[in-house]
Amino acid sequence: MFYVSWEAFHRATKELAHQLLDKKYDAIVAVSRGGLVPAAILARELNIRVVDSICVASYEHDKQGSLSVLKDASLPDSTSLLIVDDLVDTGETAKALREHFPKACFVTVYAKPQGKPLVDHYVTDIEQDTWIQLPWDMELAYSAPLAEK
């Protein structure tokens, strides 16, 4: 397991924004749901006002399943797109998105070896067999002092 705090995720996403400063993008397409938070951060840091989403399902909690598009993004073909997801794992979602948006720049915060060749930019390498616990999937909870246990 690899646990990510809100602060660490925000810091890593801002690092991703630094990598993207050399090119202008007209719009961001967030891959829902994991790409929604980094897309919002990148939209702010890169001053991009047009943000849409493509809703793709490939996981059910901790099990990978078949890929299905639940909602497509609706942007003009001429738009310079930045496709944003939290993580590239096996690369199945990235392959489908590359086919769907062939001219777009595809970025993720985290990349595993199988999917890494499919992204244009990422921040952190993660081992293929490591499960990432992202902050929106966890809750803070009180922990009793050791003396009280």
Q: Which residues are catalytic?
A: 85-86, 89
Q: Which of 14, 69, 2 is nearest to 40 (CA)?
A: 14
What is the biggest distance separating any 2 CA atoms in the chain, rounded to whole angstroms? 63
Strands (E) located in 40-142: 50-60, 63-71, 81-88, 105-111, 124-125, 132-133
